[in-house]
Amino acid sequence: MFYVFSKLPTATKTEEEAYTLDMPLTPGIIHQVDVLFQDGCAHATFVQIWHRNFQLWPSNRGEKFRGNATAISFREFYELQPGNTILTAKVWTSLSTTFYEVIIQIGLLPKRIIQPMSFDELLAAAAGLE
């Protein structure tokens, strides 16, 4: 499953005033994340992705994704538990005239699809105990 979310910043903002975009997902494993910046963003539109009060991406705290005609795309293995499946994107820009939409795509699959065996099951199978 792929989820797509977008945000068009409509005013100049600082990181502290960032727009927030709730991204409701389903329980499972996030396996792919794409952040798409349109041509014209000029490395002046910024994105962070959070899970509750923890910055997930980029991984180095306090940093942000930015780009111009750029697709930032990476593989991931991050589990979302039932009842705790909303990520939040913080989006802001230092542009002052024309604003550009940012698109966030998240690939998510059930854990049994991505990891069909638990670690214990894998060890038992490797040892011939099953």
pLDDT the model gives residue 112:
85
Task: Give the chain's domains with CATH numbers.
Answer: 2-126 (2.60.120)
Q: Are 38 and 69 in contact (CB under 8 A)?
A: yes
pLDDT the model gives residue 129:
64
pLDDT the model gives residue 124:
81
Average pLDDT over the chain reads: 93
Cα three-residue angle 31-44-4, rounded to 5 degrees: 30
**pTM for the full predicted model:** 0.88
pLDDT the model gives residue 125:
79
pLDDT the model gives residue 62:
92
How many Cα atoms within 13 Å fall on the side-chain side of residue 31? 13
Burial of residue 102, with CB atoms counted within 10 A of its CB: 0-12 exposed, 13-18 middle, 19 or more buried: buried
pLDDT the model gives residue 130:
54
Instruction: Convert the pLDDT of each residue in 12-64 to its tens digit.
Output: 888 999 999 999 999 999 999 999 999 999 999 999 999 999 999 999 999 99
pLDDT the model gives residue 121:
78
Q: Are 40 and 100 in contact (CB under 8 A)?
A: yes
If pLDDT is split at 50, 70 and 90, which confidence band does 122 have? confident
pLDDT the model gives residue 45:
96
